[in-house]
Amino acid sequence: MKSAKSLIYVACSLVLALTSMSAQTGGIRAKIPFDFHIGEQLLLAGDYKVTIEGTVLHVARLDGSDFAFVPTYSYGHNKDTSPKLVFHRYGNHSYLAEAWMAASGHELWASPGEVEYAQTTKQERTIVIASTLSNR
């Protein structure tokens, strides 16, 4: 009985430690000079902090006025990749498509609005270079 409790305690401690480590990715900071969509949500141009926790991308304007949470899927790993955000642009409409941080890429699912623009408007890619945030 005592060993079963010890095993449960160790397992819970391990889960908490791993959750804590994934939350402390540090993230990136980017100055985005244009309004953009994350899913169907429009965010205004400005300075943003972008972090990943598990498969959820957190995007928050540094002044606290805008934020979004969106599910992603892992796009790839490349130790030589600098932090950046990749946007798909359709005329005056920009959609966040990828976030590269900590040598891994995370791709966002295309929203219904983006899919609609993609059917009628030529897509361009815009890359915003970001800087790494410390883990403080």
**For the chain, what percent of residues have pLDDT higher than 90?**
60
Q: Is the whole model's pTM more than 0.85, yes or no? A: no
Tens-digit pLDDT string for the chain (136 aa): 445 443 333 333 333 333 333 444 579 999 999 999 998 999 999 999 999 998 899 999 999 999 999 999 877 777 667 899 999 999 999 999 999 987 788 999 999 999 999 999 999 999 998 988 865 5
Query: Contact 53/102 with Cβ under 8 angstroms?
Result: no
Q: Which distant-in-sequence residues (6+ apart) come within 8 Å of 43 by Cβ?
A: 32, 35, 36, 37, 59, 61, 66, 68
Which of 37, 34, 39 lies closest to 110 in space, CA to CA? Answer: 39
- How many residues does the structure list for the chain? 136
Q: How far apart are CA 49 and CA 29, in angstroms?
A: 5
What are the domain boundaries of the chain?
26-132
Which of 23, 25, 37 lies closest to 104 in space, CA to CA? Answer: 25
